[in-house]
């Protein structure tokens, strides 16, 4: 777009002068730009859109709610969309997760989870504050969530302010025991409060997958040491991995669960942190000093809650799971064909999330490959944003076969051009 826009974009180097497309409207998997292009959104607008852009039921719910109640203080006040949503969520999530705390983004859902864990131990009078994390994790961009995420170029400038955590290695194939041993050792320390993890797929860390059996053993290790288990399903939730929650595939119920992105079908900013009875009960008292000290202005915004309620209705009444299964199959076929024609390795898939690494001719090319591929995809009207040399798909479930064909031929042509 224009050079002189005052907008400062996230994760964007304005100094490179790259073109910034202006999108006017969207439907399904298609973004309509101001200059008349129809771009296939193959990453669900950064992992949020689940049923397609502007799903009519969600839009209708937003419009109806906006005409009734736009916003309300939520400390000691309530409204029907939040009540309905909390009941709707407790009905479909594991029954142990009885309590729903609202916030407005994945980062705040994780911040809330960490504060709940620390509050739990503090209110029980135990000095536990250490957080255990997994290598290559991503939990958000606020100071707290950066602290529990992978350290690197993204947060080097802020590292003096990040708190110390205990990091266990990622469970690479054949090295799972080292991960479990490291968690065991960390849990044995008396000051460990919680372990936070992205179940089955580490998203921003490079779409790294690990098996459900490992997730299950991580959960068991925490349980056997009374260390709280926090599942960050901000990306993996809402069907992305082939089940409503990734935890389901491992038969795991976390003590604390973070949901955001697809909670409203990806239409409005809203998040929840769900907790088991012991977490809630540790804050339940006649003593005001034990309450949960957290709020943000737009906590449980009624319009966002209405959008989330429409999302739940879509899950109940439309064949979402079938769409997910069909999409996952089509993605597998398309990627297998690409792998036959191009130098791709580490092909991996978890539900509708599919990824492979492009083999680069030399290491020096590694930092260049992502931006070049991205430009090649965009030139072919496809929104894809490789993570380094990792090319992945995470489309909305409504993407059509014809749109998928466009995506795969664009990847095919771009790989041929760039490599």
296 assigned to a ligand binding site = yes
267 assigned to a ligand binding site = no
CB of 204 to ligand PLP, least distance (A): 6
Using the minimum distance from each CB to ligand PLP, give the nearer residue, 365 or 370. 370
The residue ranges that bind ligand PLP (CB under 6 A) are: 105-107, 110, 138-140, 198, 203-204, 232, 234-235, 260
List 96's β-bridge partners, or say none: none
Using the minimum distance from each CB to ligand PLP, give the nearer residue, 235 or 384. 235
Q: Determine the Cα–Cα distance for residues 143 and 367; give it in Å rounded to an integer.
A: 26
Q: Which two tokens stand for residue 168?
A: 């266990």
Helix (H, G, I), strand (E, B) or coil at 263: helix
385 assigned to a ligand binding site = yes
Query: 407 phi and psi, to 5 degrees?
Result: -65, -50
Query: 218 phi and psi, to 5 degrees?
Result: -65, -45
115 assigned to a ligand binding site = no
357 assigned to a ligand binding site = no
CB of 209 to ligand PLP, least distance (A): 14
Query: Residues 6 or more apart from 69 whose CB is under 8 A from it?
Result: 79, 81, 302
Q: Which two tokens stand for residue 50?
A: 């689940």
The residue at minimum Cβ distance from ligand PLP is 106
224 assigned to a ligand binding site = no
Q: Determine the Cα–Cα distance for residues 395 and 390; give it in Å rounded to an integer.
A: 16
Using the minimum distance from each CB to ligand PLP, give the nearer residue, 52 or 203. 203
107 assigned to a ligand binding site = yes
CB of 57 to ligand PLP, least distance (A): 23
Using the minimum distance from each CB to ligand PLP, give the nearer residue, 123 or 301. 301
Q: Determine the Cα–Cα distance for residues 8 and 146; give it in Å rounded to an integer.
A: 21
Nearest to 335 by CA among 235, 407, 231, 229: 407
Using the minimum distance from each CB to ligand PLP, give the nearer residue, 269 or 334. 269
Q: Concatenate the DSSP letters of all residues of 123-185 into one string.
A: HTT----EEEEETT----SSHHHHHTS--STTTGGGGGGSPP-EEEPP--TT-HHHHHHHHHH
Using the minimum distance from each CB to ligand PLP, give the nearer residue, 232 or 357. 232
CB of 235 to ligand PLP, least distance (A): 3
CB of 291 to ligand PLP, least distance (A): 25
Binding residues for pyridoxal 5'-phosphate: 106-107, 232, 296-297
Binding residues for substrate: 46, 138, 261, 295, 385
Binding residues: 46, 106-107, 138, 232, 261, 295-297, 385
């Amino acid at each position: 777009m224009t050079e002189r826009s005052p907008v400062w974009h996230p994760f964007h180097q304005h100094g490179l002068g790259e073109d910034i497309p202006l999108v006017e409207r969207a439907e399904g998997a298609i973004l309509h730009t101001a200059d008349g292009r129809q771009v296939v959104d193959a990453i669900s607008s950064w992992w949020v859109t689940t049923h397609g852009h502007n799903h009519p039921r969600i839009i209708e719910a937003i419009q109806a709610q906006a005409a009734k109640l736009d916003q309300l203080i939520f400390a000691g006040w309530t409204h029907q969309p939040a009540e309905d949503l909390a009941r709707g969520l407790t009905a479909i999530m594991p029954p142990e997760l009885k309590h729903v705390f609202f916030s407005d983004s994945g980062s705040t859902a994780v911040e809330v989870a960490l504060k709940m864990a620390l509050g739990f131990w503090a209110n029980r009078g135990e000095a536990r504050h250490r957080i255990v994390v997994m290598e290559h994790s991503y939990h958000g961009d606020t100071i707290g969530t950066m602290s529990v995420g992978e350290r690197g170029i993204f947060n080097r400038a802020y590292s003096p302010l990040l708190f110390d955590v205990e990091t266990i290695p990622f469970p690479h194939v054949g090295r799972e025991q080292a991960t479990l041993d490291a968690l065991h050792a960390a849990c044995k320390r008396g000051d460990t409060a919680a372990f936070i993890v992205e179940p089955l797929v580490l998203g921003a860390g490079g779409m790294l997958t690990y098996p459900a059996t490992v997730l299950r053993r991580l959960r068991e290790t925490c349980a056997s040491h009374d260390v709280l288990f926090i599942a960050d399903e901000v990306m993996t939730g809402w069907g992305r991995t082939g089940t409503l929650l990734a935890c389901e595939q491992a038969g795991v119920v976390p003590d604390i669960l973070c949901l955001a992105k697809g909670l409203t079908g990806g239409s409005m900013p809203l998040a929840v942190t769900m907790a088991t009875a012991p977490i809630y009960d540790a804050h339940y008292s006649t003593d005001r000093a034990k309450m949960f000290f957290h709020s943000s202005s737009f906590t449980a915004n009624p319009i966002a809650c209405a959008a989330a309620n429409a999302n739940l209705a879509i899950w109940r009444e439309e064949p979402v799971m079938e769409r997910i299964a069909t999409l996952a199959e089509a993605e597998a076929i398309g990627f297998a064909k690409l792998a036959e024609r191009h130098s791709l390795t580490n092909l991996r898939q978890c539900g509708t999330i599919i990824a492979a690494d492009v083999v680069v001719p030399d290491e020096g090319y590694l930092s260049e490959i992502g931006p070049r591929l991205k430009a090649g995809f965009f030139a072919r009207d496809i929104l894809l944003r490789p993570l380094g040399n990792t090319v992945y798909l995470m489309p909305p479930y409504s993407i059509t076969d014809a749109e998928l064909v466009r995506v795969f031929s664009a990847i095919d042509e771009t790989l041929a051009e760039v490599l």
